[in-house]
């Protein structure tokens, strides 16, 4: 049977998975986490033995993932830490290069946008994050980690250690 006929019948596509760019990045992060968990990947450290940004980003992603799992088994109201959720997501986005908006943060945390906005304001007051306007679209605002916030998160994730 000619290959064009097989493709038409989807035989060549059986068992294949097609991922969006975002899903492919998440899959790559998951593979790194799994490799770390079973000891196949060396820890990413600088010359002084401190974890680098990729390792710290993986730790932040792990914490985010564990919090999502927790929320499937327990009432979210038992663990009310919206500022921490926002800070973790902004840090993970900062490391991966993914810019966060309040709307994205609300969707990912399951927290109402008004609550996310209040906590962003609090984190701004603490000089951990800042809102940054989109260069061309006035409706969009990005939430960016400030050096103090990045340093505090890096210190925390370093101290927490590997999984």
Question: Does residue 6 belong to any structural domain of this protein?
Answer: no
Question: Does residue 11 belong to any structural domain of this protein?
Answer: no
Q: State the total domains in the chain.
A: 1
Question: Does residue 4 belong to any structural domain of this protein?
Answer: no
Is 87 or 2 the better-scoring residue by pLDDT? Answer: 87
- What's the mean pLDDT in 108-119? 92
Give the pLDDT of residue 68. Answer: 79
Question: Does residue 102 belong to any structural domain of this protein?
Answer: yes
Question: Does residue 2 belong to any structural domain of this protein?
Answer: no
Q: Is 26 helix (H, G, I), strand (E, B) or coil?
A: helix
66: burial class by Cβ within 10 Å (0-12, 13-18, 19+)? exposed
Q: Supply the CATH number for residue 73's domain.
A: 1.10.10.10
CA distance 59 to 51: 10
Scanning 9-146, the segments in alpha helix (DSSP H) are 21-38, 53-73, 82-96, 102-109, 113-125
Residue-number span of the structural domain to which 76 is assigned: 19-160
- What's the mean pLDDT in 31-46? 57
Give the pLDDT of residue 119. Answer: 95
Confidence of residue 3 (pLDDT cuts 50, 70, 90): very low
State which H helix or E strand residue 158 sits in: helix 147-160
Average pLDDT, the chain: 79
Question: Does residue 119 belong to any structural domain of this protein?
Answer: yes
- pTM for this one? 0.65
Q: Is 143 helix (H, G, I), strand (E, B) or coil?
A: strand
Give the pLDDT of residue 36. Answer: 63
Question: Does residue 139 belong to any structural domain of this protein?
Answer: yes
Question: Does residue 76 belong to any structural domain of this protein?
Answer: yes
């Amino acid at each position: 049977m000619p290959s064009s006929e097989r493709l038409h019948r989807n035989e060549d596509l059986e068992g294949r998975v097609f991922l969006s760019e975002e899903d492919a990045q998440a899959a790559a992060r998951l593979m790194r986490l799994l490799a770390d968990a079973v000891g196949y990947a060396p820890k990413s450290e600088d010359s002084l033995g401190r974890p680098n940004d990729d390792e710290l980003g993986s730790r932040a992603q792990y914490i985010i993932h564990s919090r999502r799992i927790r929320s499937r088994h327990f009432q979210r109201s038992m663990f009310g830490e919206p500022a921490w959720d926002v800070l973790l997501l902004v840090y993970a986005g900062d490391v991966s290069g993914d810019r966060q908006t309040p709307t994205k943060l609300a969707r990912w945390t399951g927290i109402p946008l008004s609550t996310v906005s209040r906590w962003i304001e609090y984190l701004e007051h603490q000089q951990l994050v800042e809102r940054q306007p989109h260069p061309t679209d006035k409706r969009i605002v990005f939430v960016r980690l400030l050096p103090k916030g990045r340093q505090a998160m890096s210190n925390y994730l370093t101290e927490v250690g590997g999984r």
